[in-house]
Amino acid sequence: MILRSPMGTALAAFLFFWSLLGVQDATAAEGTNMPGEQIRESILAGSWYPGDAKRLRQDVESNIQKASVPDLQGQLLALVSPHAGYRYSGQVAAYAYKLLQGRKFDTVVVIAPSHRAYFSGVSVYDRGGFRTPLGVVPLDTEFITALKERDRRIRFVAEAHAQEHSLEIQLPFLQVVMPGFKLVPLVMGDQSFASCQWLAEAIAGCIDKKSTLVVASSDLSHFHPYEEAKRLDQVVADKVNAFDPGGLSESLKNGKCEACGGGPMVTAMLIAKKLGANKSQVLYYANSGDVTGDHSGVVGYMAAALWANPRTKGATPEGERTPPRVGVDLGLTAEEKTALLELAKKTIEAKCRGEKAPAPEAKSPTLSELRGAFVTLHKAGRLRGCIGQIQARQPLVKTVADMAVAAAFDDPRFPPLRAEELKDVDIEISVLTPLRRITDVREIQVGTHGIYMRRGGYSGLLLPQVATEWKWDRTAFLEHTCEKAHLPKDAWKDKETEIYIFSADVF
């Protein structure tokens, strides 16, 4: 179910690809591998992915070989993977599953959305394994039993699995990259945030010390023009990179983005947080238009990973404490960050010397994304200018170039920067996540969130690094944001005051 709209939108999308790929009605299950077991037979082999085992393995291995992923330091806890036919989304899925090379999990919990059946709660297939051309994936019956005992809303609903593609499509990748695992197959009928919360609680409680991976199955926006799809899908990517499950659920509910597996994604994020994850990163994004060349109506696909990085909580190899990271990691590479800092520097230098500034050039898709950003200047450790654009109205390279000039020459608190000061000025860039309004200030995490506050004609913003630099707690952070907005320091307690949070990749 797409959280922003009735089930009909997701169903229409599913039926389109179903007819496009020539899928026929699945026959009843025939084989079993144990007495009493009812193997769930493949409904996708020969259409959504190859029906021949050798060719299927070759296709998966080829996609995995083409993918390149970062070296994640720490414990991998969850993945997000798309669920269209391999022709459309197989290469994107490979970016998630490549992370499993060299890793071993005993159990994989796959959480998928229901496209064809309408039911409340969550359905778990507990009758037998899942067959693909690569063999039968066995169930983790112990885990499944524990789940059903924890919450009666987790039960077997036959129609939830009979024709559902979003769960099965994940299995061949898992079978090739990490053979020998056991499966916990879950299909969500209700994707409300409340359902995500109780399901996450149940799954996390069963994982305990087990070697378990969670996989959330989801496509993104459906059948919008290419650029509109990218805009919608960027909202999802921002929420995932910001590790903000509540914000993602709210954006889906309000129609700011789309994801037919939004509930599984939110649930996976909640589970990962409960298990100690502190990192969330989109690994790759593409849409069907990138494959077919038809940009009139596309479907978006994303791969992502969630993991616990011990370096942010413990000691470095040399035994020194690593200071906690301010803000979040939005997936910018070292080369992209360097390019943005160089752009800001050269733009300011050109303005100082009366020369023509370099044209902002996006040398990667990330740098062309619509993003808000702040540019901060320091001289001898003291603030020398800071101006930013909150809303994502233009490509990141253009935002950084414009804000660099504004911070150097238009900050009313300081005189315009002089050429002789250039050698003493340090530049800091903060690439922002979208604003999210809150009603409970306990959601504010010092060191992760910045605050934007508004009441009447007054407003003020403080970046995440400000609270960390001054060692403020949450209350002090709120009070100083009030002062920045020229409001009484306790104005944050007033119901008329609008409070928004955001995060930033600071470098």
Taken in order of first residue, the domains within the chain and their CATH numbers are: 7-21+38-312 (3.40.830.10), 334-432 (3.30.700.20), 436-506 (3.30.1490.150)
Burial label, 288 (beta-carbon count in 10 A; 0-12, 13-18, 19+)? buried
Separation of alpha carbons 162 and 158, rounded Å: 6
Least confident of 3-12, 194-203, 286-295, 446-455: 3-12
- 3-state secondary structure string, 195-260? HHHHHHHHHHHHHCCCCEEEEEECCCCEEECHHHHHHHHHHHHHHHHCCCHHHHHHHHHCCCCCCC
- The gap between the terminal CA atoms of the chain, to the nearest Å, is 38
Burial, 370: exposed, middle or buried (Cβ in 10 Å; 0-12, 13-18, 19+)?
A: middle
DSSP string, 415-450: PPPPGGGGGGEEEEEEEEPPPEEES-GGG--TTT-E
Mean pLDDT of 254-281: 93
pLDDT at 209: 62
pLDDT tens digits, residue range 340-378? 999 999 999 999 888 888 888 888 888 989 999 999 999
Q: Does residue 29 register a pLDDT over 50?
A: no
Instruction: Kindly report whether the global pTM for this prediction surpasses the value 0.75.
Output: no
Confidence of residue 287 (pLDDT cuts 50, 70, 90): very high
Helix (H) / strand (E) element for 77: namely strand 75-81
Q: Is the pLDDT of residue 218 over 70?
A: yes
The pLDDT assigned to 318 comes to 35
C-beta separation of 64 from 58 below 8 A = no
With CA atoms as reference, report the closest residue to 179 among 219, 135, 149, 221. Answer: 135
Residue 25 pLDDT class (50, 70, 90 cuts)? very low
Longest dimension (CA), the chain: 83
The pLDDT tens digits for 32-53 are 344 457 999 999 999 999 999 9
| Cα–Cα distance for residue pair 451/456, rounded to 1 Å | 17
Q: Identify which has the larger pLDDT, 1 or 201.
A: 201
How much is the pLDDT for 399?
95
Taking CA 20 as the corner, what is the angle to CA 18 and CA 24, rounded to the nearest 5 degrees? 45
pLDDT band at 19 (very low <50, low <70, confident <90, very high): very low
- Quick check: 16 pLDDT over 70? no
Could you identify the residue written with the tokens 């479907």?
299
* CA neighbor of 482 nearest in space, from 503, 452, 446, 438: 452
The mean per-residue pLDDT over the stretch 68-83 comes to 89
Mean pLDDT within 83-96: 95
Q: What is the pLDDT of residue 266?
A: 96
Give residue-wise pLDDT tens across range 317-337.
333 333 455 788 888 887 888
| Averaged pLDDT of the chain | 87
> What tens digit of pLDDT does each residue of 112-161 get?
999 999 999 999 999 999 999 999 999 999 999 999 999 999 999 999 99
pLDDT band for position 1 (cuts 50, 70, 90) = very low
Beta-strand ranges (E) seen in 291-345 are: 298-308
Is the model's pLDDT at 382 over the cut of 60? Answer: yes
